[in-house]
Chain A
Amino acid sequence: DAKTTQPPSMDCAEGRAANLPCNHSTISGNEYVYWYRQIHSQGPQYIIHGLKNNETNEMASLIITEDRKSSTLILPHATLRDTAVYYCTLGNEKLTFGTGTRLTIIP
């Protein structure tokens, strides 16, 4: 059972904001939303996580809807190095990774 649903691929122009959506309609009350990204053949890299409130760090912003059934990861000024597969995961006791969104930044 897929716990998160993400579009398989997205393109974004370099310098623009990349908005990556994730649906998690069956999220339980104590599960956090985590975002990771994986550049080809490397280990995934943590980006950000949140429970209810919106979060921002030096890499990205995370917007979680009030009902917590979906979220959006925002990369404010995408660069070519942001080309990667982005995973939205739910975490409590363990993380469950789906197939992610392949984000391609276009020069």
Chain B
Amino acid sequence: DGGITQSPKYLFRKEGQNVTLSCEQNLNHDAMYWYRQDPGQGLRLIYYSQIVNDFQKGDIAEGYSVSREKKESFPLTVTSAQKNPTAFYLCASSSMGLVSEQYFGPGTRLTVT
């Protein structure tokens, strides 16, 4: 059964701690993306990657870091430098580079207190 998995669904952390969100896809997609969504808002792009070992900053990359060591995996680290980390985080992937529909995972809801 192909798709994108994100884990965990809910994540709780104390302020000042780094936390890594997992995103895995078995769709053989080249491109992967991370978005952040705040209540009542649209999605904002954090980072994206078109190929392994390469990634670009999105609109709100400050306080976040990513890696793309494998085609299937694109983990996102929310660092302590991110001022308002509590949000709903969504991972997506697409084939054929960027002009293609994106498939989204179920999301991880991160709460930092």
Contact = CB atoms under 8 A, between A and B. Distances in A.
Contact of B43 (A34, A49, A93, A97): A97
Contacts of A87: 42-43
A46 B43 contact: no
B42 A98 contact: yes
B41 interface: yes
A43 B105 contact: yes
B12 to A, nearest CB: 17
A43 B103 CA distance: 9
Task: Assign chain A's interface to a size class.
Answer: 20 to 34
A94 B48 contact: yes
Task: Assign chain B's interface to a size class.
Answer: 20 to 34
Nearest to B59: A96
B58 interface: yes
A65 interface: no
Nearest to A51: B99
B105 A97 contact: no
A9 to B, nearest CB: 12
Nearest to A43: B104
A45 B104 contact: yes
Contacts of A44: 43, 90, 92, 102, 104
Contacts of B59: 96
Contacts of A41: 88, 107, 109
B75 interface: no
B78 to A, nearest CB: 18
Interface of B: 4, 33, 35, 40-45, 48, 58-59, 88, 90, 92, 98-99, 101-107, 109
Given A94-B58, A94-B98, A97-B42, 9 more contacts: A41-B107, A41-B109, A42-B107, A46-B101, A87-B42, A93-B98, A94-B33, A95-B45, A96-B59
Interface of A: 32, 34, 36, 41-46, 49, 87, 91-100
